[in-house]
Structure 1
Amino acid sequence: MIPIRSTYRLQFRNGMDFAQACKLVPYLEALGISHLYASPVMTAVGGSTHGYDITDANEIDPGLGGLDGLRRLSVDLRARGMGLILDIVPNHMAAHLENPWWRNVVTWGAESPFARYFDIDWSERLTLPFLGDGFDAELASGAMSLALDPRDGLLALRYHETFYPLHPRSYPLVLADAGPPALADLRAAGAVLHPGDETENLHRLSGVLAVPGNREAITEGLEAISRQPARLRTIHDAQPWQLTNWKTAGRHLTYRRFFEIAGLVGLRVEDARVFEDSHRLIIDLVREGIVDGLRIDHIDGLADPLGYLGLLRAAVGSAPYIVTEKILERNEPFPADWPVQGTTGYEFIGALADVLVDERGQKRLQQAFAALKPPDRQHAYSEERRSAKRQMLTENFAGEVASVARLAKMIADAGGLGLDHAILAEAIRVFIIALPVYRTYTTETVVPEGDRALVHAVRKNAIEAAQKAALRPAVDFVAALLIDDPVPAEAGPRAEFRRRFQQLSGPIMAKAVEDTLFYRENAVIALNEVGGDPGTAAGGVPAFDAFMANRAETMPNGLSASSTHDTKRGEDARARLYTLTEAPDAWIAATRRWSGLNASLRHASGGRSVPEPEVEWLIYQSLAGIWPSGTPDDPAVLRMLGERMRLYATKALREAKRATSWTEPDAEYERMVGDFVDGLMQHDAFLRDFDATLAPFIDAGRVNALSQAMIKLTAPGIPDLYQGSERCDFSLVDPDNRVMLDANGVAIPERPEPADTAFPLYKQWLTATVLAARRKSPLPFSGPYQPLAVSGGDGGALAFLRGTQQAFAIVAVPRLTFGKVMPGTLLLQDTALREMAAALPSRLVGRVVRSVLDGDTFTLGQDLPLSLLFAKSPAALLLSVDQ
C-alpha cells in the first residue's frame, strides 16, 4: 500500500468519469497529493448525481468507464506513486426497480432470496411509498393500469412510467377469465416461475411473448382489465407490496430507510452472507491492489459498527487505510476499539472555528439575531435544539418511534410491567432528545463503559426535562434496555430494541440539528457545520491546542477536512464569514441599513413580512460568503449570484421547516422570498453599499482562508482537499458545491506575489509547496503537537510545533485580522505584527530553520518574532535544517 500523506476528493458523475480523472492525475501529482479519494463509483440509479443510491454493489458503473476504466485510473495513479481510496456505502442501497436485488424482493416478497438482505419488517406487506397521492385517488385518476414490463415481460401494475412487478402466483387472479389463448399461456408461464432463477423465468416469459400475435393479444387483454378499477384494487391487494403516498413514509414504512429518504433502503450487513455478497467486488479491488483505502459512508446507520469494521478489516487485512464518516460532537471521543485510522474529519472543521472566531463577537451576533425572532421563538439555543429533535420524532420519524416503542412494550409485557405503548413512545422521544451524541454502541453482549456512563447521564437529564412523574418508570426502563444485562428470555428482543433505538437516534440528530436547526439558528452561519455546536462559544486557541494535542495521540491519521460534498458552505466562504465575529457591530449596523434600503422588496402576507427579519439576515450572510468584490459592475455575475442564491434560499427555507418544507412546500411563500433575492440583485444602491461594506471582511477572509489551509496542511491528521478547493471554494450547500472540475487541472504557478487579486493562485501554490515539503520531509509532520505561546498582538496569531528534536516543524498563522490587512495584499500591516512573538522551547535555541514559503533561513532564539515570518508571507512553515 502507498503511504498516505494527503487526499483529493473527486466527485464522479455530472461529467466526471474515469477517463477524465486520468487526465487529472499529472496535476494531482504536481499538487502533492498521495491519494485520489473517489466518491461512490458502483452502479447507481440512472441519472444519479452523487452515486449513493447504489443498484449493484458488485459492478463499477459502466457510465463512468466500468471496471476497466477504474483499473486504468489505478494504474495511472500508481505509475506516479499515488493511490486510490473509494467511498463505499454499506448502510443502504437504492429502493429502486433498477436494483436487481430490490426488484426481486418486490416481485416475490418474503419468498425472495434477497428478502433478508434488506432491513424489512415482513410481518406485513412491503410498503412502497412512491405515489403522489393516496392509492384510491391515483386509481380513480387513471394513473394506474396493467401492462407488461418492457424490461422482462413480467406482468406489472403500471404507475405513470414505473412498472411494479406482480407476484407470479397472482397471475391466475389477474387473468382469471382469460379469453384469448395468449393470456392463458401467460397465466401458465407465471405459475411455474421461481424466485431463485431469473434467467429461466425470463426464458419462459420470452417464449410466450415470442409467439406471433401473443404480445398484441396480451396487451389488448390487459387494457380491458385496466378499465376495471375495482379489479385493479383486488390485484393490488394480492401483491406482497402496497403502493402508498410518499408523504406517509414518516408515519408508516415497513423498511429502514436512510434518514428520510424512502428511495434508499437499509442493508443488513450485520448478516455475514449479506456482508459477503455486498462487498465481494470491494474486497477483490483491495486484494488486487487496485484500491488502497476505503471511506465508510454513514457508519452510525449500521446495526453494529464495530462488528462490521471487524469483518471488513479481516477481509482486507491490516494494510488498507480506512476512515469512517463518524460525526463526533464536541468533546466526544472516537471509539478507541474501531480498527480504522479515524474519521473523515468534520470535527476538524469545528476546531478551525475555535481558532478563527472571536468569541465576543459571536455572542454579540447571537444577541442581535435573537432580537429578530418573533416573541414566540425567543428561546435559548439548547431549547431550539430540543424542539427540533421533538419535531423530527413526532412528525418525520413517527413511524420509527412507534416501531421501537412496540419492541419496548413487548419486552415490558413479558416482564409483567404495566407500561403502555404511548408512554413508552414518549420515553423514547425524551431520551433521544436528551442524547447529546448521534448514538451509543451497545450490542446484545457488549456495553462499552463510556456508553454506560452516558446512558445514566441521559436518563437523569431526560427525566428532568420531561417534568412528568408518570414518565420516570418508562425512561428508567428504556435506559435499562440499553445497558442492563438481559435475562436469557429477553436477549433477542432486547438486542433488537438496542439495534432499532441506536439506528434511530443518529438520523434524528442529523435531520433535527444539521438539516433543521442549522437553517433556523443563523446568528453566525459559518458555525453551522456538520458536527458543529454554534450554541457553544468558540473556545479560542486554548481549545484548539487541546483538541490537536489529543488528535495527535488518538487519531493522527484521520482525515483533516475543511470542505466536503456535505458541508453547508465552502471553506473560503466559511473563513470569510468567521470575520463577522471580529466586527459584529459594523455587520449589525449594515444589516439594519440594508433592511431599510430593501423595504420595498419585501411582501406583506398573512400578517407577516416576507422574508421575515431572521430570513433576511440569513440571506445577507449567505450572499456575503460568496460575494466577489467588484460585482456591482458585472451584470452577468449578478445574474449568476442571483440564481445560486434563489436556489439556496429555497433549500434553506425547506430545511428550516417553518413557513415551507420538503413535504409541504408553500410555493407562494417561496416565490416571494425568491423575488426578494432577485430584487437585491437589481438594486444598485444596495449592491454598492453591500460591496463597500464587505471589502474589509473580504480582505480578512482571504487571510483567514490561508491560515486555515496552512493549519490543515500541517496539523495532526491527513490533509483532505475537496475538488477545486486548493484554489478557492466559495460554494454553498449541494448541489452548488458540485461544479464540474477542469479535467486538465489548473497549472500550479511559480510563487505568486501575495496580492489580493492573486488569492486563488497563492492558495494553490501554498498548498502545493507545503505538500511537497511533507512528501520530502515527512518526519516533522508526525509525532506530538506542542502549542507555542504567542505574546503581543492581542492573541492575533496561532503557533505550534510538530515533530521531534531531530526533525521538527514550526507553524505560525495570523488570526483575528479584520482591519489589519495591507490594502491590495494578503499580508498584515506592520502595526499588527509589532512585538508579536512565539516562545520556543529551550532545546530549539540555536537550531537553524528554513522558511518553506520564502526560502529564508533563521537561527532560532528563545523567542521567534512573527514580524520576521509574516513580512513576506501570510502564513509560515519553518522546517529544521540538518546540523
Structure 2
Amino acid sequence: MRTPRSTYRLQIHSGFTLYDAAALVPYLQDLGVDWIYLSPLLTAEEGSTHGYDVTDPSSIDPARGGPDGFRALADAAHAAGMGVLVDIVPNHMGVATPRANRWWWSVLKEGRGSRYAEAFDIDWAAGGGRLRLPVLGDNADALDELRIEDGELRYYEQAFPIAEGTAGPGDTARDVHARQHYELVNWRRADSELNYRRFFGVNTLAGIRVEVPWVFEESHAEIRRWFGEGLADGLRIDHPDGLADPEGYLEQLSELTGGAYVLVEKILEPGEKLPGSWPVAGTTGYDALAEVDRLFVDQAAAGLLTEASDAEPYRHMIHDTKRAVADGLLHSEVQRLVRLLPAGSGLDTGTAADALAELLACFPVYRSYLPEGAGYLEEAALNARVRRPDLDSAFDVLVPLLRGNTPDSRDGLGELAVRFQQTSGMVMAKGVEDTAFYRYTRLTSLNEVGADPSLFALEPHDLHLGMLVRQQEAPDAMTTLSTHDTKRSEDTRARISVLSEMPQEWTEAVLRLEELLPLGDRPLADLMWQALSGTWPLDRERAHAYAEKAAREAGQSTTWTAPDEAFEKQLHSLVDGAFDHPEANAILETIAERISSAGFSNSLGAKLVQLTMPGVPDVYQGTELWDYSLVDPDNRRPVDFQTRTALSAASPDWAGTGKLPGIDRAGEAKFLVTREALRLRRDRPDLFSGYSALIASGPAAGHFFGFDRGGAMTLVTRLPLGLARDGGWRGTTVALPPGSYRDRLTGRTFSGGAAHADELFAVYPVALLSLEEER
C-alpha cells in the first residue's frame, strides 16, 4: 500500500475545478506536499460547492471538470511524484432536485416496483405504501397549489414524476397526487413522520443501502474505474457511522481498491479506539486536532472561565441537547426503531419511544460496532437508569434487543440493533456539534468537531503519551488542524486559546461589552465576542452571517424553524455595535491586539506540531498562510493561490522580512513553517521513524514542548503570555540528542547537549531541527 507523507485538501467546485487543481500542482510540489486530497467529485446537485449531495454516482461532475479534468489532475500529480486522495460519500445521495437523481426519480415514479427502491432506506409500510416528501409550505391548502405541467406534477419550481396510468382527462393535480407512490407533505412533518432515512436531519440527503451488493457495485463503479486506470491512490470515506455495516463496507472497498490507502471520517471520543479489524489506515484526524489545541490552553484558567460562563456541567448539557434532538429533529428515526420492536415486547409505543430516546441521549460515543461495542450500550443503559428510573422495566426489555438478541439476525444482529447503531451517531452529531457547541462557551477554541469541550487543557506529559500511542497504533492515520467542517479555523482557535492566559482581563472586558451591547442570551454573547476577538478584523457581512447561524444552531433564543425576529434584530445590533459603538469597538480592538502576538506563537506551534507528529499531516487549502475563518460556509471561501504562488516563487531571502506585498512577517513565518516541515517529511522520511520526548530544564520548562522523530526535532513555545509575564526563558535549556543540527526555519546550527531556549527561539517561537547528513 502506498502511503502519503502529507496531504493538501482542495475544495473542488465549479469555481475551482479539477483543471485549476492540475495547474496548482507545481506550487504544491514546491510547498512540499506529497498527495493532493480532493473533496467529492461525483456529479452532485447543480450549484453544490461541497459535493456531498451526489446525484449520479456513475460520473464525475462536469461542473467540477468531468473525467477529463480528473485525468488532467491525476496525470499532473503523478508526473510530479504526488499521489491523489479522493473523498467519497457512501452513506447518502442528494435528492433536492428529483429529476437530477435518476435513482430517486425512478422510485418516485414506480414506487416499490422500481429496482432502485431497494437502494434507499424506506419504510413503505409506515407511509401507507407511499414515500413521504416534506416539501409543502405552511399553507393549509398547499396541495391546491399543485399543477400538472409537461407530464409532471409541479409545486412551484419543484417537479415530480407521474406514474403510468394515474392521470386521466379531467383529473385535478390533487387527484393525480393522491394516486402517486409518494405523498407531498408539510415540511414540518419530517421530524416526526418521515419514512426514509436521511443524513442527520437533512431532508434532501437520502440514505442509501450500500450493504446491498448491487447497490455497492453500481454506486462504486466509477470509483472502481479510478483505481483500475491508476487515477486515484487512496480514499477518504465520509460518515461511515451512517452505514448498516461499516466493517463489511470497508472490506468490500479494500477489495475494490486493491488494498489502497483508506481513511475514515470517524469521530472518536476521548479514550475511544477505532475498531482494530477495520482495513483502514485510521481516521481523518479530528482526534489529533483536539490533542494539539489543548497544549496551548492554560489549565489555570479553567475555574475562572467556568464560573464566568455560568454554564451547566457539560455532560448534563449534552444529555439534554441530545434528548431534544431525539424528541424533535430525529424523532422520525426513533419512531422507526419503535416500529421494529417485536410484537411481544410488552411496551406501548409511547414508553418505547421515551426509553429509546433516553438511551440515545445517554450514549457515550457516536456509535458502537456490535458485538465488540456492547460495553458502550451497557454504559448508556446504566446512565439512563440513573436519569430515568421510571423506565427501568423498559430498559430491561430494550437492552437485550439492542444487543442483537432477536430472531431477524443479520450476522447475529437484528435490524433493530443495526438501526440503533446508525441512529446514535446522528443524535450525537446534531445534539453536540450542532447545538451544545454553540451553548457551552467558556472557551470556544475547545468546541471543535471530535473534541470534548469539558477537557480544558493537556499537559505536555499527556500529549507525549498520546503521541507515542499514535506512533505505535496509527502511524498512517491523518492529522489535521483545519477542515471544511471545523467550527473555527486553526488560527482563529489559536487566538481564542490565548484568552485562557488572561481570564480576568477577558472576563472583565466581556462584562463591560455586555453592558454596552446587551443581548439577553449570555452564552451566545460570550460566543460572539470570542468569535470576533479570534477573527478581528473581519468584514461586517461575515460577522452577521456567522451570528445568525450560531444563534439558530444554539436554538435557545431563536431557531432555524421559528426565527425570533426581535431577538435576531438585537443580535445584529450587537454585531454592528462591535464596529460602530466607540467604547465597544475600542475594547474589542484592545483585546484583539493583546492576543495577536501570542496567537501568532500558538498558531506556529500548533502547525509545526501537527505537521511533524506521528501520522500523515493534512493542510487544508490556504492554511499555509493565516486563515481566520469561522464555520462553513465561511471556511470555504475562495483561496488566493496567486499570492501563495508568488510567495513560493520568491527568492529564499524573503523569510521573516515582511517585504512581500500583501504578506506580513507573521504570514511569511507560517508559510515557512508549513513549507519546511512538509519538505522535510517528503525528502527525509528517514528522520521520522520514531518518537521520543525532548526535555527542558529550568524555570520556564513548562512553556516548552518538543519531540524528536528520529533526527527531525520539533520545538515550540506554549503559553507565551505567561512566559512573557514571568520574564522569559531565564536560562531554561533543552536537552538535544548528540549530533549536529540545522534549524530549517533560520539556517542556524546547534549541537547536541544543553541548548538554551532563548537561543533556539531567538527568531521564531518555534524551531524545526534536522540532523545534518554526514558528508
Fold match (TM-score > 0.5): yes
Note the alpha carbon deviations across 1:283-322, whole angstroms, 9 max, x for none: 110221101111100111111110000000011112x211
User: How many Å separate the matches in 1 of 2:690 and 2:759?
Assistant: 26
Note the alpha carbon deviations across 1:569-592, whole angstroms, 9 max, x for none: 110010010110011001111112
SS of 1:356's partner is coil
User: How many Å separate the matches in 1 of 2:766 and 2:412?
Assistant: 57
2:703 aligned residue = 796
Note the alpha carbon deviations across 1:404-423, whole angstroms, 9 max, x for none: 0221243xx1xxx4222222
1:838 aligned residue = 734
1:132 aligned residue = 137
Q: CA deviation at 1:754?
A: 7.0
Q: Is the 8 A contact 1:715 1:785 kept in 2?
A: no
Q: CA deviation at 1:459?
A: 1.9
1:215 aligned residue = none
SS of 1:146's partner is strand
Q: Which has the larger radius of gyration?
A: 1
SS of 1:693's partner is helix
Taking only aligned residues, the RMSD between alpha carbons, in angstroms, comes to 2.0
Structure 2 regions of 5+ residues with no counterpart? none
Note the alpha carbon deviations across 1:220-247, whole angstroms, 9 max, x for none: xxxxx5xxxxx43332111110001111
2:287 matches 1:347: yes
Q: Is the 8 A contact 1:2 1:81 kept in 2?
A: no
Match of 2:712 among 805, 809, 824: 809
Q: CA deviation at 1:713?
A: 1.1
2:104 matches 1:102: yes
1:79 aligned residue = 79
Q: Is the 8 A contact 1:836 1:865 kept in 2?
A: yes
Q: Is the 8 A contact 2:656 2:668 kept in 1?
A: no
Matches for 1:769-784 after TM superposition, within 5 Å: 769-784=676-691
Q: CA deviation at 1:790?
A: 4.9
2:245 matches 1:312: no
1:406 aligned residue = 339
Match of 2:394 among 474, 478, 481: 474
Higher mean C-alpha displacement, 708-717 vs 733-742:
733-742
Match of 1:421 among 343, 349, 357: 349
Match of 1:436 among 364, 369, 374: 364
Q: CA deviation at 1:561?
A: 0.7
Q: CA deviation at 1:820?
A: 4.7
Match of 2:377 among 439, 443, 455: 455
Matches for 1:169-188 after TM superposition, within 5 Å: 169-171=165-167, 174-175=168-169
Q: Is the 8 A contact 1:696 1:818 kept in 2?
A: no
Q: CA deviation at 1:819?
A: 5.8
Q: Is the 8 A contact 1:754 1:873 kept in 2?
A: no
Q: Is the 8 A contact 1:35 1:82 kept in 2?
A: yes
The 1:782–1:133 alpha-carbon spacing in structure 2 relative to 1, beyond 3 Å, is farther
Q: Is the 8 A contact 1:545 1:787 kept in 2?
A: no
SS of 1:575's partner is helix
Letter in 2 for 1:617: D
The 1:492–1:7 alpha-carbon spacing in structure 2 relative to 1, beyond 3 Å, is closer
2:567 aligned residue = 669
Q: CA deviation at 1:778?
A: 0.5
SS of 2:57's partner is strand
2:772 aligned residue = 881
Q: CA deviation at 1:12?
A: 1.3
Match of 1:498 among 417, 425, 436: 417
2:501 aligned residue = 582
Higher mean C-alpha displacement, 37-46 vs 531-540:
531-540
SS of 2:705's partner is strand
2:275 aligned residue = 335
Match of 2:763 among 858, 865, 872: 872
2:47 aligned residue = 47
1:63 aligned residue = 63
Q: Is the 8 A contact 2:438 2:554 kept in 1?
A: yes
Q: CA deviation at 1:481?
A: 1.9
2:201 aligned residue = 260
Higher mean C-alpha displacement, 677-686 vs 765-774:
677-686
User: How many Å separate the matches in 2 of 1:476 and 1:500?
Assistant: 19
User: How many Å separate the matches in 2 of 1:721 and 1:476?
Assistant: 48
SS of 1:529's partner is coil
Letter in 2 for 1:38: L
Match of 2:217 among 272, 276, 280: 276
User: How many Å separate the matches in 2 of 1:679 and 1:874?
Assistant: 35
Letter in 2 for 1:352: V
Q: CA deviation at 1:531?
A: 1.3
Q: Is the 8 A contact 2:501 2:722 kept in 1?
A: no
1:204 aligned residue = none
Letter in 2 for 1:429: A
Q: Is the 8 A contact 2:611 2:674 kept in 1?
A: yes
User: How many Å separate the matches in 2 of 1:699 and 1:784?
Assistant: 30
User: How many Å separate the matches in 2 of 1:243 and 1:554?
Assistant: 50
Q: CA deviation at 1:326?
A: 0.2
1:217 aligned residue = none
Note the alpha carbon deviations across 1:721-779, whole angstroms, 9 max, x for none: 11111101100101111111235443325352277941112101221112111122112
SS of 2:493's partner is helix
User: How many Å separate the matches in 2 of 1:68 and 1:265?
Assistant: 29
Matches for 1:108-123 after TM superposition, within 5 Å: 108-123=110-125
2:326 aligned residue = 393
Structure 1 regions of 5+ residues with no counterpart? 149-154, 178-224, 226-230, 371-377, 603-609, 629-639, 822-828
Q: CA deviation at 1:430?
A: 1.8
The 1:680–1:347 alpha-carbon spacing in structure 2 relative to 1, beyond 3 Å, is same
2:530 aligned residue = 621
Q: Is the 8 A contact 1:295 1:324 kept in 2?
A: yes
Q: CA deviation at 1:351?
A: 0.1
Letter in 1 for 2:226: L
The 1:830–1:510 alpha-carbon spacing in structure 2 relative to 1, beyond 3 Å, is closer
Letter in 2 for 1:125: R
2:236 matches 1:295: yes
User: How many Å separate the matches in 2 of 1:614 and 1:833?
Assistant: 37
Q: Is the 8 A contact 1:357 1:540 kept in 2?
A: no
The 1:679–1:847 alpha-carbon spacing in structure 2 relative to 1, beyond 3 Å, is closer
User: How many Å separate the matches in 1 of 2:353 and 2:588?
Assistant: 50
Q: Is the 8 A contact 1:572 1:728 kept in 2?
A: yes
Letter in 2 for 1:659: S
SS of 1:523's partner is coil
Q: Is the 8 A contact 2:656 2:666 kept in 1?
A: no
Q: Is the 8 A contact 1:251 1:397 kept in 2?
A: yes
1:854 aligned residue = 746
Amino-acid identity (%): 39
User: How many Å separate the matches in 2 of 1:819 and 1:439?
Assistant: 40
2:448 matches 1:520: no
Q: Is the 8 A contact 1:19 1:69 kept in 2?
A: yes
Q: CA deviation at 1:493?
A: 10
Letter in 2 for 1:837: T
1:201 aligned residue = none
1:36 aligned residue = 36
Note the alpha carbon deviations across 1:51-86, whole angstroms, 9 max, x for none: 111110111111122101110111111111112111
Q: CA deviation at 1:161?
A: 1.4
> What TM-score does the superposition give when structure 2 sets the normalisation length?
0.94
Q: CA deviation at 1:710?
A: 0.5
User: How many Å separate the matches in 2 of 1:362 and 1:522?
Assistant: 12
Matches for 1:469-868 after TM superposition, within 5 Å: 471-483=391-403, 485-486=405-406, 488=407, 495-596=414-515, 598-599=516-517, 602=518, 610-628=519-537, 641-744=539-642, 745-746=644-645, 747-748=647-648, 749=650, 750=652, 751-753=654-656, 757-786=664-693, 788=695, 790-793=697-700, 795-803=702-710, 808-818=711-721, 820=723, 831-839=727-735, 844=737, 846-861=738-753, 863-868=754-759
Q: Is the 8 A contact 1:45 1:94 kept in 2?
A: yes
Letter in 2 for 1:594: L
SS of 1:681's partner is helix
Q: CA deviation at 1:858?
A: 2.5
Q: Is the 8 A contact 1:754 1:762 kept in 2?
A: no
SS of 2:278's partner is coil
Q: CA deviation at 1:435?
A: 1.2
Q: CA deviation at 1:454?
A: 2.5
